[in-house]
Structure formats: structure tokens, C-alpha cells
């Protein structure tokens, strides 16, 4: 068996303290997914420059794409890079949407400081049992755990029609008590990807179910709540993508004012992946179209990285409120 690595030796922190401060302070910690070097450089640069705590997320797709060991070493390099930039910010390395005990265990043993066990597709009893098993193992290593109750609609689903997928407030207190989780992801109308709502001509995005959020908060006062699927799908990126040869008609996300409202409540972690993908795609398309003879990836990926830094600073400063909280 490979040696067990403690996240503390890598300069990482778990999410306990930063969540407590975020709940008390009425802001949210950004959780950005990364799959490659330029994304990671952009996240660290933007979070150091805005003095924001940050959660670096690794998904199953990221592990398949870039290799788990590679990503972990990259995250360690990122911690070092942040230090060399002269400002200490809390950095969490988090498993996004873990789907088994074994996966969570292997991430904990390889230096992750936080894991999500996503049992939201299981029966309630099975979700409780699996989450409890992960929590017991994680807490023995001082690693924090995110659980999930309620299913986020898939990108093909009719979000507004699927009432049954929203988190049921009556379950949250029992779930938190029985599992011992440190934070809870809930479903209040967001979904993953760039096509979150199917809107007919003239329709606007339906508001998130803040009533469900309020009911959950009432049952578990002060407990850290997590919002997945929180990209805003900024129209300027969709327009650039379409202008430079892409085809993303109908792409729509959660308006930023809704996220501001969520961040000011018990929502203390906001997951953003698609917005970064859109920024990168828009800038790569634009660069290549405007510079047809260029073939150095550093040029077009560099342009994408610059835009990603701008986007992340914008999120931290004007949407999540995490800037200056490191």
C-alpha cells in the first residue's frame, strides 16, 4: 500500500474553520473545479490577489482526464505557488461528487483535506449509512465531509417540474445528526452544466427556491449549506462563443443576484465549474480566429488563463463576497 499522506503536511486546511467564518460573516467560499495547469494557476492567482480562501475541487471527470496523482501533486504545487506570492490564503483540496467509500478513503489517504460523498441518488437510509461510514473514516483523519440531500436536476430535465428532486427540509436535521457531516449540499433549483433552464421566448429564469433554503436553515441553524450547479453562464461568454464559430443557443445559468442572496445566508460554499469552461472556450475561440497562424498553445491558453483570472476575481469580489476574507 502507498504511504498515507496527511493534508496538513501539504499546507492544506480542512473546511471547518473557513465555513464557520463564512456562515458568521454572511459570505460564501468559492469552490472551483480544475482539470489542467492553466485553470489551477488562474484560481490561485485570482484568490491570492483577492485574498480569498478557496476550495480546489477534483471531480471524477478530472481524475479520468488528468490522473488523480498528477492533480494532487499539482495542488501541492499550487499551495507552494500561493506562498511564494507572499499572501497566505486557506486552501482546501476537495473531492467533488465522491461516489464510494473506497474513493473517499483513497483521496483522504493521498492528501485531500475534504471529501464529498454524494449519496443523493440512493434511498434515504442508504445515503445515511454510506455518508456515516465516510464521516467516521474522514474524521479520524481530521478531514471534513460534505453530504447531499435532494437531487440536482440533470441538464436534460425539466427543473421546475421536478418537485420531488428538491431537498425535503424535514429530512435535513435527522440526516445531519445521524451522519455527522460537516456541510450539506441541498437542491433548490440549480443544476449542473450550461443549460440549467429551458426557457420559452420571453420567459426569464425562475428564482431559486429560497423558501426551501429558509426551511432548511430553520431546522439546522448555523449549519454550513452548499450550493452545487451555481454557474451563471454569463451571456457575454455565450455570445463570444457563438460569434467565433460555436453553437450554444439556449445556454442559461443562475443569475448572479440570486447567488449574492444565497451567499449572504447559510450557503457557505458555492460550486463553479461551467463558468470557467465558458470563459476558456470563448477566449480560445476568439484568439485562434483572430490569430490564424498562431500555433503555440501558450498563446491561446494564456489568453484563456488571463480571462479566467478576471472571472474568478469578479466572482470573489462581487458575487460570493469572499474577497479579503483570507
Which amino acids are annotated as binding site for Zn(2+), given as ranges? Answer: 97, 118, 148, 192, 228
Q: How far is CA 97 from the centre of its chain?
A: 10
Question: How large is the greatest C-alpha to C-alpha distance in the chain, in angstroms?
Answer: 61
Phi, psi for residue 194 in degrees, rounded to 5: -100, 0
Residue 33 makes contact with ligand G3H by CB under 6 A: yes
Minimum Å gap between C-beta 209 and ligand G3H is 20
Which residues from 213-232 bind ligand 13P, rule CB under 6 A? 228-231
| Number of residues this chain uses to bind ligand 13P (CB under 6 A) | 14
Residue 191 makes contact with ligand G3H by CB under 6 A: no
Q: Confirm if 190 and 152 have CB atoms less than 8 A apart.
A: yes
Give the residue with the Cβ less far from ligand G3H, 53 or 98: 98
Query: b vs e for 163-183, b when ≥16 Cβ sit within 10 Å of the residue's Cβ?
Result: eebbbbbebbeebbebbebbb
Residue 60, contacted partner among Zn ion, ligand 13P, ligand G3H, none, CB below 5-8 A by kind: ligand G3H
Residue 120 makes contact with ligand G3H by CB under 6 A: no
The correct pick among 72, 132, 192, 209 for binding ligand G3H (CB under 6 A) is: 192
Alpha helices in the chain (DSSP H): 16-25, 37-49, 60-66, 68-84, 101-109, 124-140, 169-179, 210-219, 235-243, 256-263, 274-290, 297-314
Which residues from 55-74 bind ligand G3H, rule CB under 6 A? 59-62
Residue 90 makes contact with ligand 13P by CB under 6 A: no
Answer left, alpha or beta for residue 97, where phi above 0 means left and psi between -120 and 50 means alpha.
left
Taking CB under 5 A as the binding criterion, the range among 225-233, 243-251, 254-262, 281-289 that sits at the site for Zn ion is 225-233
Nearest residue to Zn ion by CB is 228
157 annotated active-site: no
Catalytic positions are: 96
Amino acid at each position: 500500500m502507498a504511504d498515507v499522506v496527511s493534508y496538513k503536511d501539504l499546507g492544506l486546511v480542512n473546511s471547518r474553520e473557513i465555513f464557520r467564518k463564512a456562515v458568521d460573516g454572511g459570505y460564501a467560499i468559492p469552490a472551483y473545479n480544475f482539470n489542467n495547469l492553466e485553470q489551477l494557476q488562474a484560481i490561485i492567482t485570482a484568490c491570492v490577489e483577492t485574498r480569498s480562501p478557496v476550495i480546489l475541487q477534483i471531480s471524477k471527470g478530472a481524475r479520468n482526464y488528468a490522473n488523480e496523482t498528477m492533480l494532487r501533486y499539482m495542488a501541492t504545487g499550487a499551495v507552494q505557488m500561493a506562498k511564494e506570492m507572499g499572501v497566505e490564503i486557506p486552501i482546501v483540496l476537495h473531492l467533488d461528487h465522491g461516489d464510494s467509500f473506497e474513493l473517499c478513503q483513497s483521496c483522504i489517504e493521498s492528501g485531500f483535506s475534504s471529501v464529498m460523498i454524494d449519496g443523493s441518488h440512493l434511498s434515504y437510509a442508504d445515503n445515511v449509512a454510506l455518508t456515516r461510514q465516510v464521516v467516521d473514516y474522514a474524521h479520524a483523519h481530521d478531514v471534513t465531509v460534505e453530504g447531499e440531500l435532494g437531487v440536482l436536476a440533470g441538464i436534460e430535465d425539466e427543473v421546475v417540474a421536478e418537485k420531488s428532486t428538491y431537498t425535503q427540509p424535514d429530512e435535513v436535521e435527522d440526516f445531519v445528526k445521524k451522519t455527522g457531516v460537516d456541510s450539506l449540499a441541498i437542491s433548490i433549483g440549480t443544476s449542473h452544466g450550461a443549460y440549467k433552464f429551458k426557457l420559452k421566448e420571453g420567459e426569464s429564469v425562475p428564482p431559486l427556491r429560497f423558501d426551501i433554503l429558509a426551511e432548511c436553515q430553520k431546522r439546522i441553524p448555523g449549519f454550513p449549506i452548499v450550493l452545487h450547479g451555481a454557474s451563471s453562464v454569463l451571456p457575454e461568454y455565450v455570445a463570444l462563443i457563438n460569434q467565433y464559430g460555436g453553437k450554444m443557443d439556449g445556454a442559461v445559468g443562475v443569475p448572479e443576484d440570486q447567488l449574492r442572496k444565497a451567499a449572504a445566508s447559510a450557503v457557505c460554499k458555492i460550486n463553479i465549474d461551467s463558468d470557467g469552461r465558458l470563459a476558456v472556450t470563448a477566449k480560445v475561440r476568439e484568439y485562434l480566429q483572430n490569430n490564424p497562424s498562431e500555433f503555440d498553445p501558450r498563446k491561446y491558453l494564456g489568453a484563456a488563463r488571463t480571462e479566467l483570472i478576471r472571472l474568478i476575481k469578479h466572482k470573489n469580489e462581487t458575487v460570493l463576497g469572499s474577497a479579503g476574507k483570507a
